[in-house]
């Protein structure tokens, strides 16, 4: 039995290492447990020479170990050196298998059988998890590895890759890429198809199989690992193949299960939820503290600061202010009254209903991603049609909403503690009405990501936002003269439902009479003419459908289905009809609009008989564009290939309008009826790229454009998350000689994106790779360069609801 | 069935140049009308104004037409700079192209009237002839720009140029292993097909799409059709047929691109020569005044 340490730190990444450094500096008895044979495995696994960034730049680093942006090797080298110099007590190769005991006396059992005792535990294990082991005898054999850093370093080997996902296929392709390595590469798949992998990877694998470069074994799994041999279990029985190396890529186990087994509770069942923590990082299991990425802080600086803080707290330093204190105090400095950070945090947490369920730690973090504002009475907080997807909460004062754009004197109040701006947050569309301060107001503006995280982690907040959103959406949609009281029965009966892409909401011919509001995503309306479905119209978020049946009790005249994953609010038909009966003006309005749409439908139906082909073209082109992601787009670049001469001036202009890299690939992408959707950002309503950006570098700009700013750390998450493949990772290229120099003296690469070779030769090798994508030429006078630079008018930028109409899609443009 | 929100687009509209029309139809033929007015006014002036002793580039009206023509030519030649210089501002290259086309055509009238139909073997006529060459090649350019893009698009079948070449490389790899069992002379034919440069053939082959020395075609011809007896030969044959189709697609692409670009090889040098001839024309006129 070893001595009782004051603290055991599990995981030697930035957070754990920094904690150990602080413990060593304080002379606290400690042990740093690392499961691999080196420190900081996540960063160790970065590719060679990767530039590691140090964002956020305004956050001071508080740690006994140094960290600054630089190459992976430099950073790891510094940490190795400093952890030696500071006499940090490291236990390498120590994977924790079990934790027992309680605060004051924990017993930690390692996989190798060793046990350690500590009074407190700091968990800093990150979110990487453990790779799944092979489930067969010999699964601990040294031939097995779970990572392939450089496929070029193996020669003359029999290598078997286990796993049918993208990682496994990419590894196998890499190992077989160069014949000169003379490797015999086999890939095993438990099933008979590679359904989990990307189609492009599967076709490359099938091609390699046809060429005989990779042996693909389907319905085969490993049954035993021996020296130089691998026993396979195939459909026809056991078989043994020669094998020098096994690469297991069968996924990994997220650490949540392990963490929960210690008695630590998470804030919700949501996959993205984090453990519940006190301001001193203590989890619901007393004596166990959680810091770093596992606690919800993916950035290195945050992690290192928390490592320092948690040890200070354990050492009894309760007065320690978090390292973000100066940032918050600067933020709150703009508010009236010159109050302390603590005062404002108390006000926010106490007054604002959606923030009531948060711990101080969560509140501080939320405030880091948010802005605070004060407004004078009468001042506009935002105006109708402003782009914006942030959520506002009123900490002090109240605001008034101008519900009628034609008459600003008609307003509805929103009181202290409530929220507004939730429609923009949910739908991703422009602001629906102007909001002004009614009295002096202190408001918190939660950035979209922060607000979504809040909704995901706090069920109270989710419930509050939902209820308010439904009521406001109804008021805004049915407009003038209605009060919250009028629609109360409707709000009561409303039901928010998720609609999967392609799912039918209303079926033509059915007799149901419910009315639906599309609050997120978009839908398409189809009608069966002949036996074919004909595209009638496109419905963006904020539209309502189905009221015809509710008004006149007729059967559904068309089918409505989701173009992409959507959310709809279902309103019972009879309640809606009752609302109309009580409000003749509203009824009149609904009837007029209904008549207009009946005419459109009748027009397309009449066209169908006379000009069948035009309707077919319209319907099929619209369907094609929706399939290509227009259903969730706000602004898309299209190329009319009846006009495109292939000069690539759009790409050149794009590169020259930015820092020398094109953000669009004209040739790539799908085409239907000469309408081409190039590989270029669609500026989605709910951008997939924003979902997981550690430094929050992806934002929505003033014109609705989705942009990546300079704080990008080059992690590549957005590139992986984008379903349209429009984000590239590249270092900023060097400045080119001017156009005239090229024109007269031939110096430099000329207009457009310089070749890779030129960029490499003339560029700064230290320049880190960052994510780049279309920013819609934000801030450039004249607008998108791709469109301005098209000589024939082939390149156009469109918004789906304007373009997916019969006139636009069938017009003659030559 | 549905009601859409009405609070959108006004701002997007301002920012987005989404008028979906070609450069020829730009702004309802704005530049065509301007060019027509220019032609008609110049023609009427030529007829109505009494030029003494006879219509000539040296009369005051002749100088007026000459100045307009020179100004147009210099401005039209600046399209090459405009296209490559990505400055900020509300300009559109489509509008420039549209103006370039119609005002360029108007030069036929303005330039011809400026000559007063006095043609001879001198630097003045040289400039006039060069101008006509530039305009005629330009007319060819407008015709191909208006007619060829859709064939370029249909031929591409959603493949990029890089993907077309990759597809060929993939076929080549398969051919190489599939041809192993073939006898010597047949495998030699396959090897010569694989070794031939994808881009072989000169400018004429590019433009006509005729590649008489195509080794893939030769290899394909040497293998009898439907030789089901020999599996290896049949497999090579089908791969060669695929290779031939892939080559044909690449060559059609090259051909259309060549047809879209060939005129620029005359249009641009002739423009440079025209500017030089114009300089000589203007200097000599003022020198001998």
How is residue A369 annotated by DSSP?
T
pLDDT score, position A753: 94
Chain A positions touching B145 (Cβ under 8 A) are: 645, 792
Q: Give yes or no for residue B137 having a pLDDT over 60.
A: yes
pLDDT score, position B7: 42
| CB contact (8 A) between residue B2 and residue A782 | no
Chain A positions touching B11 (Cβ under 8 A) are: 385, 703
Q: What is the pLDDT of residues A44-73, one digit of tens each?
A: 887 777 788 887 777 889 999 999 888 889
pLDDT score, position B11: 47
pLDDT score, position A792: 94
A–B: how many Cβ contacts below 8 A?
193
Nearest CB to A791: which of B23, B148, B174?
Answer: B23
d(CA A734, CA B231): 56
Q: What is the pLDDT of residues A754-810, one digit of tens each?
A: 999 999 899 888 888 899 999 999 888 888 999 999 999 999 998 887 788 877 787
Q: Give yes or no for residue B8 having a pLDDT over 70.
A: no
> Which residue in chain A has the smallest CA separation from B19?
A796
pLDDT score, position A612: 62
| CB contact (8 A) between residue A643 and residue B22 | yes
pLDDT score, position B71: 97
Chain B positions touching A211 (Cβ under 8 A) are: 173-174, 177
Q: What is the pLDDT of residues A113-128, one digit of tens each?
A: 999 999 999 999 988 8
| CB contact (8 A) between residue A792 and residue B9 | no
d(CA A115, CA A108): 5
- Parallel, antiparallel, or unpaired for β A221-226 and A229-234? antiparallel
Predicted confidence band at B287 (pLDDT cuts at 50, 70, 90)? confident
The alpha carbon of residue B84 is apart from the nearest alpha carbon of chain A, in Å, by: 6
Number of CB atoms found within 10 A of residue A208's CB: 22
The alpha carbon of residue B101 is apart from the nearest alpha carbon of chain A, in Å, by: 11
Residue A633: closest CA among A798, A748, A744: A798
Interface test with B, best of A517, A601, A663, A789 (most B CBs within 10 A): A789
Q: Locate tokens 């051919």: which residue?
A: B175
pLDDT score, position A25: 94
Chain B positions touching A627 (Cβ under 8 A) are: none
* Average pLDDT score, chain A: 87
Interface test with B, best of A645, A676, A748 (most B CBs within 10 A): A645
Residue A555: closest CA among A546, A566, A563: A546
d(CA A614, CA A598): 20
Establish whether the linkage from the previous residue to A56 is cis, with ω within 30° of 0: yes
d(CA B41, CA B47): 10
Nearest CB to B2: which of A525, A703, A813?
Answer: A525
Inter-residue contact A651 to A753 (CB < 8 Å): yes
| CB contact (8 A) between residue A405 and residue B23 | no
Q: Give yes or no for residue A24 having a pLDDT over 60.
A: yes
Predicted confidence band at B14 (pLDDT cuts at 50, 70, 90)? low
Establish whether the linkage from the previous residue to B53 is cis, with ω within 30° of 0: yes
Chain A positions touching B24 (Cβ under 8 A) are: 814
pTM over 0.90: no
The alpha carbon of residue B60 is apart from the nearest alpha carbon of chain A, in Å, by: 37
Q: How would DSSP label each residue in A157-172?
A: -EEEEE--SHHHHHHH
Chain A positions touching B264 (Cβ under 8 A) are: none
Inter-residue contact A657 to A607 (CB < 8 Å): no
| CB contact (8 A) between residue A674 and residue B97 | no
Chain A positions touching B7 (Cβ under 8 A) are: 384-385, 405, 430, 432
Tokens of A652: 């050149």
The alpha carbon of residue A790 is apart from the nearest alpha carbon of chain B, in Å, by: 6
Nearest CB to A430: which of B8, B91, B146?
Answer: B8
Nearest CB to A782: which of B5, B91, B150?
Answer: B91
Inter-residue contact B76 to B103 (CB < 8 Å): yes
pLDDT score, position B6: 47
| CB contact (8 A) between residue B149 and residue A644 | yes
| CB contact (8 A) between residue A543 and residue B3 | yes
Mean pLDDT, rounded, for A399-415: 85
Of A105-114, A445-454, B247-256, the poorest mean pLDDT is in A445-454
Mean pLDDT, rounded, for A232-240: 86
Chain B positions touching A784 (Cβ under 8 A) are: 16-17
In chain A, count of helices (H) and strands (E)?
25, 43
Chain A positions touching B146 (Cβ under 8 A) are: 814
Q: Give yes or no for residue A532 having a pLDDT over 50.
A: yes
Predicted confidence band at B114 (pLDDT cuts at 50, 70, 90)? very high
The alpha carbon of residue A24 is apart from the nearest alpha carbon of chain B, in Å, by: 57
| CB contact (8 A) between residue B177 and residue A212 | yes
> Which residue in chain A has the smallest CA separation from B173?
A211
> Which residue in chain B has the smallest CA separation from A599?
B1
| CB contact (8 A) between residue A543 and residue B4 | yes
Q: Locate tokens 């020479």: which residue?
A: A49
Q: What is the pLDDT of residues A550-568, one digit of tens each?
A: 888 888 988 999 998 899 9
Strand stretches in A597-664, DSSP E: 636-640
Q: What is the pLDDT of residues A564-575, one digit of tens each?
A: 889 999 999 888
Which of the listed ranges A78-87, A131-140, A378-387, A556-565 does the model predict with the highest average pLDDT?
A: A78-87
Nearest CB to A668: which of B83, B160, B170?
Answer: B160
pLDDT score, position A1: 43
**Better pLDDT: A454 or A117:** A117
How many residues are present in chain B?
A: 289
| CB contact (8 A) between residue B9 and residue A429 | no
Nearest CB to B16: which of A558, A653, A783?
Answer: A783
pLDDT score, position A729: 93
Of A611-625, A703-717, B40-54, B153-167, the poorest mean pLDDT is in A611-625
> Which residue in chain A has the smallest CA separation from B2?
A545
> Which residue in chain A has the smallest CA separation from B167?
A207
| CB contact (8 A) between residue B149 and residue A643 | yes
Question: What share of chain A in percent tops pLDDT 70?
Answer: 98
Chain B positions touching A536 (Cβ under 8 A) are: 1
Predicted confidence band at A219 (pLDDT cuts at 50, 70, 90)? confident
Q: What is the pLDDT of residues A289-347, one digit of tens each?
A: 999 988 888 889 989 999 999 999 999 988 888 888 888 999 999 899 889 998 999 99
Q: Which residues pair with A382 in a beta bridge?
A: A435
pLDDT score, position A550: 86
Chain B positions touching A669 (Cβ under 8 A) are: 158
Chain B positions touching A429 (Cβ under 8 A) are: 5, 8
Residue A516: closest CA among A528, A527, A503: A503
Q: Give yes or no for residue A382 having a pLDDT over 80.
A: yes
| CB contact (8 A) between residue B83 and residue A739 | no
Chain B positions touching A652 (Cβ under 8 A) are: 84, 86
Predicted confidence band at A693 (pLDDT cuts at 50, 70, 90)? confident
Q: Give yes or no for residue A155 having a pLDDT over 50.
A: yes
Mean pLDDT, rounded, for A412-418: 89
pLDDT score, position A592: 85
Mean pLDDT, rounded, for A34-47: 87
Name the region of A648 (left: φ>0; alpha: ψ -120 to 50; beta: rest): left
Predicted confidence band at A657 (pLDDT cuts at 50, 70, 90)? very high
Chain B positions touching A475 (Cβ under 8 A) are: none
Q: What share of chain A is helix, strand, coil (3-state, %, to 5)?
A: 35, 25, 40
Q: Give yes or no for residue B82 having a pLDDT over 90.
A: yes
The alpha carbon of residue A575 is apart from the nearest alpha carbon of chain B, in Å, by: 18
Q: Which residues pair with A402 in a beta bridge?
A: A411, A434
In this predicted complex, what is the ipTM?
0.92
Q: Which residues pair with A496 in a beta bridge?
A: A569
HSE (side-chain half, CA atoms, 13 Å) at B140:
15
| CB contact (8 A) between residue B5 and residue A656 | no
| CB contact (8 A) between residue B9 and residue A674 | no
> Which residue in chain A has the smallest CA separation from B260?
A645
Q: Give yes or no for residue B16 having a pLDDT over 70.
A: no
H or E element, residue A237: strand A237-242
Chain A positions touching B238 (Cβ under 8 A) are: none
Q: Which residues pair with A224 in a beta bridge?
A: A231
Chain B positions touching A639 (Cβ under 8 A) are: none
Nearest CB to A207: which of B88, B160, B170?
Answer: B170
| CB contact (8 A) between residue B84 and residue A783 | no
Q: Give yes or no for residue A699 having a pLDDT over 70.
A: yes
Q: What is the pLDDT of residues A510-527, one digit of tens each?
A: 999 899 999 888 999 988
């Amino acid at each position: 039995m070893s001595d009782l340490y004051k603290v055991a730190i599990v995981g030697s990444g930035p957070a754990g290492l920094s904690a150990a450094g602080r413990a060593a500096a304080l002379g606290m008895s400690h042990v740093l447990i690392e499961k691999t044979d080196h420190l900081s495995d996540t960063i160790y696994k970065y590719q060679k020479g990767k530039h590691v960034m140090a964002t956020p730049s305004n956050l001071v680093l508080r740690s006994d170990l140094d960290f600054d942006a630089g190459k992976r090797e430099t950073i790891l080298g510094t940490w190795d050196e400093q952890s030696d110099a500071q006499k940090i007590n490291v236990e390498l190769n120590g994977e924790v298998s079990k934790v027992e005991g309680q605060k004051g006396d924990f017993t930690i059992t390692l996989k190798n059988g060793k046990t350690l005792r500590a009074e407190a535990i700091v968990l800093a294990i990150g979110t990487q998890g453990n790779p799944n082991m092979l489930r067969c005898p010999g699964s601990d054999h040294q031939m097995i590895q779970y990572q392939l850093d450089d496929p070029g370093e193996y020669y003359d080997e029999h290598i078997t890759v286990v796993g049918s996902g993208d990682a496994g296929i990419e590894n196998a392709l890499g190992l077989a890429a160069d014949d000169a390595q003379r490797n015999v590469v086999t890939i095993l798949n438990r099933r008979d198809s590679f359904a989990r992998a990307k189609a492009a990877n599967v076709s490359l694998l099938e091609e390699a199989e046809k060429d005989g470069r990779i042996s693909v074994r389907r319905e085969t799994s490993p049954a035993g690992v021996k020296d130089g041999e691998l026993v396979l279990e195939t459909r026809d029985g056991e078989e043994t193949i020669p094998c020098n190396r096994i690469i297991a890529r069968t996924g990994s186990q997220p650490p949540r299960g392990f963490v929960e087994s210690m008695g630590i509770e998470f804030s919700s069942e949501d996959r993205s939820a984090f453990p519940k923590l006190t301001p001193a990082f203590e989890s619901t299991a007393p004596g166990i503290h959680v810091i770093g990425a596992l606690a919800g802080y993916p950035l290195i600086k945050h992690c290192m600061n928390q490592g320092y803080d948690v040890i200070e707290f354990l050492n009894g330093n309760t007065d320690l202010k978090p390292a973000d204190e100066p940032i918050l105090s600067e933020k709150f400095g703009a508010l009236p009254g010159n109050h302390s950070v603590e005062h404002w945090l108390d006000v926010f947490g106490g007054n604002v209903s959606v923030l009531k369920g948060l711990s101080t730690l969560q509140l501080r973090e939320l405030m880091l991603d948010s802005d605070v504002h004060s407004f004078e009475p009468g001042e506009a907080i935002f105006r109708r049609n402003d782009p914006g997807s942030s959520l506002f909460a009123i900490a002090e004062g109240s605001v008034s909403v101008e519900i009628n754009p034609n008459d600003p004197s008609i307003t509805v109040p929103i009181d202290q503690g409530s929220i507004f701006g939730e429609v923009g947050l949910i739908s991703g569309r422009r602001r629906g009405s102007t909001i002004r301060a009614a009295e002096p107001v202190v408001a918190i503006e939660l950035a979209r990501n922060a607000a979504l995280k809040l909704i995901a982690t706090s069920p109270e907040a989710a419930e509050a936002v939902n209820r308010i959103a439904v009521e406001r959406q109804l008021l805004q949609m049915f407009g003038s003269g209605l009060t919250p009281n009028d629609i109360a029965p409707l709000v009561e009966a409303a039901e928010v439902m998720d609609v999967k892409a392609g799912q039918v909401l209303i079926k033509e011919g059915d007799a149901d009479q419910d009315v639906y509001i599309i609050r997120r995503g978009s839908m398409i309306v189809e009608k069966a003419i002949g036996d074919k479905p004909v595209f009638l119209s496109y419905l963006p978020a904020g539209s309502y459908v189905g009221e015809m049946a509710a008004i006149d009790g007729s059967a559904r005249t068309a089918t409505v289905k989701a173009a992409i994953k959507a959310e709809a609010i279902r309103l019972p038909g009879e309640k809606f009809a009752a609302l109309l009966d009580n409000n003749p003006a509203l009824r009149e309005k609904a009837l007029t609009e209904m008549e207009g749409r009946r005419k459109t439908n009748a027009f397309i139906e009449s066209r169908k008989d006379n000009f069948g082909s035009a309707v077919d073209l319209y319907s099929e082109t619209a369907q094609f564009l929706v399939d290509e992601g227009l259903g969730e787009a706000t602004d898309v670049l299209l190329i009319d290939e009846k006009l495109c001469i292939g000069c690539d001036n759009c790409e050149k202009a794009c590169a020259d309008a930015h820092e020398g890299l094109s953000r669009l690939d004209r040739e790539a992408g799908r085409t239907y009826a000469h309408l081409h959707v190039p590989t270029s950002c669609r500026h989605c309503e709910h951008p997939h790229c924003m979902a997981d950006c550690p430094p929050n570098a992806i934002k929505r700009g003033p014109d609705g454009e989705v942009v990546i700013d300079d704080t990008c750390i080059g992690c590549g998450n957005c590139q992986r998350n984008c379903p349209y493949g429009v984000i590239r990772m590249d270092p900023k290229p060097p400045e080119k000689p001017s156009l005239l120099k090229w024109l007269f003296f031939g110096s430099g690469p000329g207009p457009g994106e310089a070749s890779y070779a030129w960029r490499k030769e003339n560029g700064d090798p230290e320049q880190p790779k960052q994510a780049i994508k279309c920013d819609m030429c934000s801030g450039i006078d004249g607008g998108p360069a791709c469109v301005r630079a098209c000589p024939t008018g082939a390149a156009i930028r469109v918004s789906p609801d304007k373009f997916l109409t019969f006139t636009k899609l069938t017009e003659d443009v030559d | 069935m549905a009601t859409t929100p009405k609070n959108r687009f006004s701002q997007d509209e301002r920012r987005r140049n989404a008028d979906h029309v070609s450069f020829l139809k730009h702004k309802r033929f704005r530049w065509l009308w301007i060019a027509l007015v220019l032609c008609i006014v110049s023609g009427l002036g030529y007829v109505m104004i009494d030029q003494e002793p006879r219509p000539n580039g040296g009369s005051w009206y002749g100088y007026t037409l000459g100045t307009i023509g020179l100004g147009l030519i210099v401005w039209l030649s600046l399209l090459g700079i405009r296209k490559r210089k990505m400055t900020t501002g509300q300009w559109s290259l489509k509008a420039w192209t549209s103006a370039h086309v119609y005002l360029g055509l108007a030069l036929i009238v303005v330039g011809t009237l400026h000559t007063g139909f006095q043609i001879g073997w001198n630097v003045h006529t040289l400039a006039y002839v060069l101008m006509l060459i530039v305009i005629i090649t330009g007319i060819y350019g407008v015709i191909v720009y208006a007619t060829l893009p859709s064939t370029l698009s249909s031929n591409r079948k959603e493949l990029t140029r890089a993907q077309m070449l990759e597809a060929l490389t993939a076929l080549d790899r398969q051919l190489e292993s599939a041809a192993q069992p073939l006898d010597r002379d047949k495998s030699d034919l396959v090897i010569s097909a694989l070794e031939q440069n994808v881009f072989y053939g000169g400018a004429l082959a590019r433009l006509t799409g005729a590649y008489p020395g195509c080794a893939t075609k030769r290899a394909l011809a040497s293998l009898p059709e439907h030789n089901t007896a020999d599996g290896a030969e049949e497999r090579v044959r089908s791969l060669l047929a695929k290779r031939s189709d892939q080559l044909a697609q690449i060559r059609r692409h090259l051909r259309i691109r060549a047809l879209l670009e060939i005129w620029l090889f005359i249009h641009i040098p002739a423009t440079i020569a025209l500017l030089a001839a114009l300089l000589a024309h203007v200097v000599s006129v003022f020198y001998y005044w």
